[in-house]
Amino acid sequence: MRGFFTGAALKLLIAAGFAVILINDLGSVVSSHYLLSERAEQIASASLSTYEMTGSKRRAYDEAIANAGKIGATLMKFDIEPRSVGVGIEIPPHRTWVLHRIESLRPYLAAKAEYTATK
């Protein structure tokens, strides 16, 4: 009888562990998609500000790379014009614990956003 309760407790503990992992992964994906457009706007605005102050396209690009790296994103696009800076960023799916290992889910896990800041 005692072995039954130990087995049931172990199954419950394993189920709870899976639930925690799934909730963490889903929260990571949802928050990445939800906040990414705001982050793209911040990166583009900071790069435009740097370009306006220095006149250097290279410094504006470096600013965009650095700011994207701070949030774990990759700079996928960078367009600079005399009065605007456009950026495209992506947060890769590897920020999850388990879901990124499921090949069919990968296209849905990566969060992408673009924004163009203008004067």
Give me the DSSP letters along 11-79: HHHHHHHHHHHHHHHHHHHHHHHHHHHHHHHHHHHHHHHHHHHH--HHHHHHHHHHHHHHTT-EEEEEE
Residue 5 has pLDDT above 70, yes or no: no
Alpha carbons 49 and 37: distance in angstroms, whole number: 18
Predicted model pTM:
0.75
Alpha carbons 62 and 110: distance in angstroms, whole number: 23
pLDDT top residue among 114 and 30: 114
Residue 28 has pLDDT above 90, yes or no: no
Contact (Cβ atoms closer than 8 angstroms) between residue 67 and residue 36: no
Per-residue pLDDT reduced to its tens digit, 53-93? 999 999 999 999 999 999 889 999 999 998 999 999 998 87
State how many domains the chain has.
1
Domain that holds residue 62: 2-118
DSSP H or E segment with residue 87: strand 84-91
